[in-house]
């Protein structure tokens, strides 16, 4: 087999991530104690805030804390005190303390893939936070490159291909997010492998769109990549 370039997502592909944000949100809802809004209704308002702010500030636990504070200011039915805002921010900051829990089969599959192909971590979020998770995961040894971008869209993939001198016909994006990993990579002319995660963040969900010359493959788990590459 010819050597391929494999761009691999990190959060919710290599390790668990969104479950910790969901836990923080549940703590926020309990603290908010809104008299009429249900948790899904509060979530919809927070999604609106996150969608607007991510375009400017990006992603990650620190920005999530700011989004929770903004949501609290909008929805709180009691006087807002600085201590309350710090409590809300704390729900997000505790995400940074959570362990890096690898998905099943990730470590041995990366070891196998690295012996046959060129691997790049391709993730978005706060650069220092993402680097810390990569270091704590112990997986960095299997990757020749790391790409941490503000947004994973078609332009970001095209820029990465240009900067690294990659051959689109032998470059694959692998991840759990239709919005960030699969659809824009296909639009940029790359191939893609979709690995569904049942707890993928709501704002990362889209219909899969097969566009461009690239192939789209769907597997159930990360270990299935050994049967492809």
Q: Look up the CATH architecture of domain 5-15+101-227.
A: 3-Layer(aba) Sandwich (3.40)
In this prediction, residue 218 carries a pLDDT of 95
Question: H or E stretch including 192?
Answer: strand 191-194
pTM for the complete prediction? 0.91
Question: What does the alpha-carbon distance between residue 184 and residue 149 come to, in Å, rounded to a whole number?
Answer: 14
Q: What is the DSSP string of 16-63?
A: --HHHHHHHHHHHHHHH--SS--HHHHHHHHHHHHHHHHHHH--SHHH
- For residue 211, the model assigns a pLDDT of 67
pLDDT (tens digit per residue) in 111-143 = 999 999 999 999 998 899 999 999 999 999 999
- Of 90 and 125, which is predicted with more confidence? 90
Per-residue b or e along 2-20, where b marks 16 or more CB atoms closer than 10 Å to that residue's CB: eebbbbbbbbbbbbbbbeb
Secondary structure class of 222 (helix, strand, coil):
helix
Instruction: Give the residue from 24, 19, 34 showing the smallest Cα distance to 93.
Output: 24
Tokens of 122: 């391709």
Cβ-contact 190, 171 below 8 angstroms: yes
List, for residues 14-30, the tens digit of each pLDDT value. 999 999 999 999 999 99
User: Across residues 72-96, what is the average pLDDT?
Assistant: 96
How long is the chain? 229
Mean pLDDT, residues 77-103 taken together: 95
Name the percent of the chain lying above pLDDT 90: 83
Q: Phi/psi of residue 153, each to 5°?
A: -125, 180
What's the rounded mean pLDDT across residues 78-107?
95
User: Can you tell me the distance from the alpha carbon of 208 to that of 74, in angstroms, rounded to the nearest whole number?
Assistant: 34
Residue range 176-225, pLDDT digits in tens: 999 999 999 999 999 999 999 998 988 888 888 876 677 999 999 999 99
Which pLDDT value is given to residue 143? 97
pLDDT of residue 54: 83
**What pLDDT is attached to residue 207?**
87
* Architecture of the domain delimited by 18-97: Orthogonal Bundle (1.10)
pLDDT at 2: 85
Query: Which ranges in the chain are annotated with CATH 1.10.150?
Result: 18-97
Contact 18, 11 (CB under 8 A): yes
Q: How many CB atoms lie within 10 A of CB 173?
A: 28
Q: pLDDT digit string (tens) for 56-81?
A: 777 889 899 999 999 999 999 999 99
Parts of the chain belonging to CATH 3.40.50.1000? 5-15+101-227
- The secondary structure of the chain in percent helix, strand, coil, rounded to multiples of 5, reads 55, 15, 35
């Amino acid at each position: 087999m010819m050597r391929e370039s494999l761009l691999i997502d990190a959060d919710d592909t290599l390790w668990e991530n969104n479950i910790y944000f969901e836990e923080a949100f549940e703590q926020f809802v309990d603290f908010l104690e809104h008299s009429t809004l249900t948790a899904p209704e509060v979530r919809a308002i927070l999604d609106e805030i996150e969608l607007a702010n991510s375009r400017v500030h990006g992603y990650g636990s620190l920005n999530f804390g700011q989004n929770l504070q903004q949501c609290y200011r909008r929805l709180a039915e009691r006087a807002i005190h600085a201590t309350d805002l710090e409590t809300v921010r704390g729900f997000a900051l505790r995400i940074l303390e959570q362990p890096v829990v690898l998905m099943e089969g990730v470590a041995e599959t990366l070891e196998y893939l690295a012996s046959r192909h060129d691997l790049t971590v391709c993730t978005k979020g706060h650069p220092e936070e993402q680097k810390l998770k990569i270091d704590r995961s112990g997986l960095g040894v299997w990757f020749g490159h790391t790409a941490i971008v503000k947004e994973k869209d078609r332009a970001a993939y095209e820029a990465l291909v240009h900067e690294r001198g990659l051959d689109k016909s032998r470059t694959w994006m692998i991840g759990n997010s239709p919005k960030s990993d699969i659809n824009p990579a296909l639009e940029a002319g790359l191939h893609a492998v979709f690995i569904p995660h049942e707890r993928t963040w709501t704002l990362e969900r889209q219909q899969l769109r097969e566009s461009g010359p690239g192939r789209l493959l769907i597997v159930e788990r990360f270990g299935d990549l050994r049967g492809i590459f």
